[in-house]
């Protein structure tokens, strides 16, 4: 094997440096064509034998995996092993083979019938229909002699390489087995990036060319610089060892503060009651973004008033006496809802989404505000309410009026459309606070789709133009009498960028709870004048990567903590 090093450059979306063998995410199994005939020259008898052998082999693999698993996973694997060798399934597939259908098409059709039957039973059984389809795909993969679908199984920890990961893949990802994630596609806001940050796994996305990585190749994955290097040598081994020996981050003590005592409250982004409890336990000083979609997604109809009151109340309960910023429903674009959004829009990111759905489907927002108000009255949290996708001061004023009509004390707006950042002063003269949603603000400022891996370099919150809009927003807030400005996008979770945001005049930062310790630790190493100086450096940079490099070079503590 060649010892020549090849480096692939992408975007580091979750810090960490590791060396390990690559395993590729296999391609999904394509459906065999309906009722395809027996292979040329084969007999039904031979085909049934081939199918039987494949089912036994899949059952044996699943049984072996069950033997090394524990708890619930073991039970599920045992049951799926039995499904693979199920006599009734094999019998009905064999009947189809006897009628002249090939093994792949026969097992596909036979399993389909079983899955449909289970789905019809509803509830728990309907969920098991997915297991039957997974077993079916494994049997077809075995028949075709290709790797089984899903995250590869291995005794040894590995670097998972993929084009991009879907939410269903990331749900089965075992953080004890996966060392790092590398994708050739996807961007900083892709599912891969979000799951990597929440599991604390190093991740590099949009690393074009990593499709050339093959199973078993040793690579150095660097989630800090965003590179993947094959045939790692002494230099990479040193970097990985330094990272492994990094100083452990102190737990967050619940006080976000700069070195000079300047307070920067650190809040959490949450999506439900359980999440809120975990964030409170992690020391979050409040909730800077409650995504209310959790209550609406996956439903055909609007949730009832009582359901909403209970769902929001579960979050308020975890933060008695503390601030909870509720974002009203943000449907549309990548979060369609059947009762609110039109999925035929040619360009949904620029269509009816967020606050705009109120004009298209009036009533849902007012009912949501009424539910928030009742939940707020039943709990002790300090509830602030804001609307997503506000574009003009007039919209901000109209929303603030709705908030106040619902009997809620504090109404604000998200700043994610560039027009809102430019006119932040006017917006803040009509409402109480703003919160910067840097993910969408970046996509709209740079005209770069946040779901597109090829746009990753533009779609980076370090882009100086985005930082200028953050600055304009903070200045608008000062002009309006010093009203609060928060950041609740992924940018706040990057410790180096957090310093820049504070230097630009942001008052509070809200993030995934896992980001609280690193952000708190790095903020404590700079005073306000230093943060302002670093912000000025970033504003003057000619690209996102230069801004990042200039600022990181001034923050030596990042290395100490391996960030």
Q: Which stretch binds another protein (CB under 8 A): 81-89, 249-257, 387-395, 457-465?
A: 81-89
Q: Of the two residues 86 and 222, which places its CB atom closer to another protein in the complex?
A: 86
Q: Of the two residues 116 and 343, which places its CB atom closer to another protein in the complex?
A: 116
**431 a catalytic residue:** no
Pick one of 3, 71, 87, 344: the residue that binds another protein (CB under 8 A): 87
Pick one of 49, 109, 112, 131: the residue that binds another protein (CB under 8 A): 131
Count of residues that interact with another protein, criterion CB under 8 A? 19
54 binds another protein (CB under 8 A): no
Q: Of the two residues 89 and 390, which places its CB atom closer to another protein in the complex?
A: 89
DSSP SS3 for 17: strand
Q: Which stretch binds another protein (CB under 8 A): 122-130, 365-373, 391-399, 406-414?
A: 122-130
Q: Least Å distance between CB 116 and another protein?
A: 10
Q: Least Å distance between CB 146 and another protein?
A: 24
User: Nearest CA to 444 among 388, 497, 400?
Assistant: 388
Q: Of the two residues 84 and 173, which places its CB atom closer to another protein in the complex?
A: 84
Pick one of 69, 82, 163, 370: the residue that binds another protein (CB under 8 A): 82
132 binds another protein (CB under 8 A): yes
From CA 482, how far away is CA 383, in angstroms rounded?
A: 20
Rg over alpha carbons for the chain, rounded to the nearest Å, is: 26
Q: Which stretch binds another protein (CB under 8 A): 118-126, 300-308, 336-344, 363-371?
A: 118-126
125 binds another protein (CB under 8 A): yes
**262 a catalytic residue:** no
Binding mask 333-362 for another protein (x = CB under 8 A): ------------------------------
Q: How far is CA 159 from CA 29, 96, 152, 204, in A?
A: 22, 41, 11, 11
88 binds another protein (CB under 8 A): yes
From CA 476, how far away is CA 272, in angstroms rounded?
A: 32
| Interacting residues of 130 by C-beta distance below 8 A, sequence separation 6+ | 115
76 binds another protein (CB under 8 A): yes
From CA 74, how far away is CA 8, in angstroms rounded?
A: 38
172 binds another protein (CB under 8 A): no
Q: Least Å distance between CB 72 and another protein?
A: 9
From CA 326, how far away is CA 317, in angstroms rounded?
A: 14
83 binds another protein (CB under 8 A): yes
Q: Least Å distance between CB 54 and another protein?
A: 17
Distance in angstroms between the alpha carbons of the first and the last residue of the chain = 33
From CA 310, how far away is CA 372, in angstroms rounded?
A: 10
Determine phi and psi for 352, rounding to 5 degrees. -80, 100
Stated length of the chain: 563
User: Nearest CA to 324 among 302, 292, 295?
Assistant: 292
| Interacting residues of 6 by C-beta distance below 8 A, sequence separation 6+ | 212, 229, 230, 231
Q: Are 239 and 17 within 8 A, CB to CB?
A: yes
> Which listed residue (9, 191, 262, 379) is catalytic?
191
89 binds another protein (CB under 8 A): yes
How many Cβ atoms sit within 10 Å of the Cβ of residue 334?
11
Q: Which stretch binds another protein (CB under 8 A): 119-127, 156-164, 262-270, 366-374?
A: 119-127
Q: Which stretch binds another protein (CB under 8 A): 115-123, 162-170, 225-233, 313-321?
A: 115-123
From CA 5, how far away is CA 235, in angstroms rounded?
A: 12
137 binds another protein (CB under 8 A): no
121 binds another protein (CB under 8 A): yes
From CA 385, how far away is CA 120, in angstroms rounded?
A: 41
Q: Are 104 and 158 within 8 A, CB to CB?
A: no
Q: Are 287 and 249 within 8 A, CB to CB?
A: no
86 binds another protein (CB under 8 A): yes
Which alpha helices (H) appear in 271-388, and where do they start and end? 273-281, 305-318, 357-360, 364-378
78 binds another protein (CB under 8 A): yes
Q: Of the two residues 90 and 181, which places its CB atom closer to another protein in the complex?
A: 90
> Which listed residue (102, 295, 431, 488) is catalytic?
488
79 binds another protein (CB under 8 A): yes
DSSP per-residue codes, 408-440: -SEEEEEE-SHHHHHTHHHHHTTSSEEEE-HHH
How many Cβ atoms sit within 10 Å of the Cβ of residue 75?
12
Chain residues that interact with another protein, rule: CB under 8 A: 75-76, 78-79, 82-83, 86-89, 114, 117-118, 121, 124-125, 128, 131-132
What amino acid positions are annotated as catalytic residues?
A: 191, 488
């Amino acid at each position: 094997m060649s010892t020549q090093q090849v480096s692939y450059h992408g975007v580091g979306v979750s810090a960490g440096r590791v060396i390990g063998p690559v395993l590729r995410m296999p391609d999904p199994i394509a459906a065999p064509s309906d009722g395809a005939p027996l292979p040329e020259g084969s007999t039904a008898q031979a085909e049934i034998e081939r199918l039987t052998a494949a089912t036994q082999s899949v059952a044996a693999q699943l049984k072996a995996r069950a033997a090394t698993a524990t708890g619930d996973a073991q039970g599920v694997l045992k049951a799926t092993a039995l499904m693979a060798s199920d006599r009734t399934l094999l019998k009905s597939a064999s009947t189809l083979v006897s009628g002249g259908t090939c093994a792949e098409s026969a097992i596909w059709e036979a399993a389909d019938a079983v899955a449909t039957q289970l789905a019809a039973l509803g509830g728990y059984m309907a969920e098991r229909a997915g297991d039957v389809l997974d077993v079916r795909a494994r049997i077809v993969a075995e028949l075709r002699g290709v790797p089984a679908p899903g995250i590869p199984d291995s005794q040894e920890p590995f670097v998972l390489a993929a084009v991009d990961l879907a939410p269903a893949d990331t749900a089965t990802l075992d953080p004890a087995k996966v060392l790092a994630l590398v994708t050739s596609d996807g961007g900083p806001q892709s599912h891969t990036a979000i799951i990597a940050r929440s599991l604390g796994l190093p991740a590099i996305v949009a690393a074009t060319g990593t499709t050339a990585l093959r199973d078993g190749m040793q690579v150095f994955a660097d989630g800090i610089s965003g590179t993947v290097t094959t045939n790692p040598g002494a230099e990479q081994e040193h970097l990985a060892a330094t990272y492994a020996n990094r100083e452990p981050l102190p737990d967050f003590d619940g006080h976000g503060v700069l070195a000079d005592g300047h307070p920067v409250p650190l809040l959490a982004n949450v999506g439900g009651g359980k999440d809120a409890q975990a964030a409170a336990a992690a020391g979050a000083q409040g909730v800077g973004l409650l995504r209310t979609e959790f209550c609406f997604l996956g439903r055909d109809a609007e949730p009832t008033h009582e359901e909403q009151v209970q769902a929001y109340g579960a979050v308020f309960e975890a933060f008695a006496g503390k601030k909870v910023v509720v974002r009203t429903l943000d449907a549309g674009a990548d979060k369609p809802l059947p009762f609110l959004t039109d999925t035929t829009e040619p360009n949904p990111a620029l269509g009816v989404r967020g606050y705009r759905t109120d004009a298209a489907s009036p009533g849902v927002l007012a009912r949501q505000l009424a539910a928030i108000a009742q939940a707020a009255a039943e709990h002790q949290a300090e509830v602030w309410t804001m609307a997503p996708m506000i574009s003009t001061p007039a919209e901000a004023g109209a929303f603030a009026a709705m908030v106040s009509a619902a009997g809620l004390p504090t109404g604000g707006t998200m700043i994610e459309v560039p027009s809102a950042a430019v006119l932040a002063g006017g917006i803040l003269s009509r409402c109480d606070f703003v919160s910067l949603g840097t993910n969408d603000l970046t996509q709209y400022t740079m005209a770069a789709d946040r779901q597109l891996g090829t746009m990753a370099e533009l779609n980076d919150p370090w882009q100086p133009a985005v930082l200028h809009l953050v600055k304009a927003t903070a200045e608008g807030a000062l002009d309006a009498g010093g009203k609060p400005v928060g950041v609740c996008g992924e940018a706040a979770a990057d410790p180096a960028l957090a310093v820049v945001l504070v230097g630009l005049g942001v008052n509070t930062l809200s993030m995934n709870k896992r980001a609280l310790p690193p952000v708190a630790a790095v903020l404590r190493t700079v005073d306000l004048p230093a943060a302002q100086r670093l912000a000025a450096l970033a504003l003057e940079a000619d690209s996102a990567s230069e801004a990042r490099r200039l600022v990181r070079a001034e923050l030596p503590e990042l290395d100490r903590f391996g960030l």
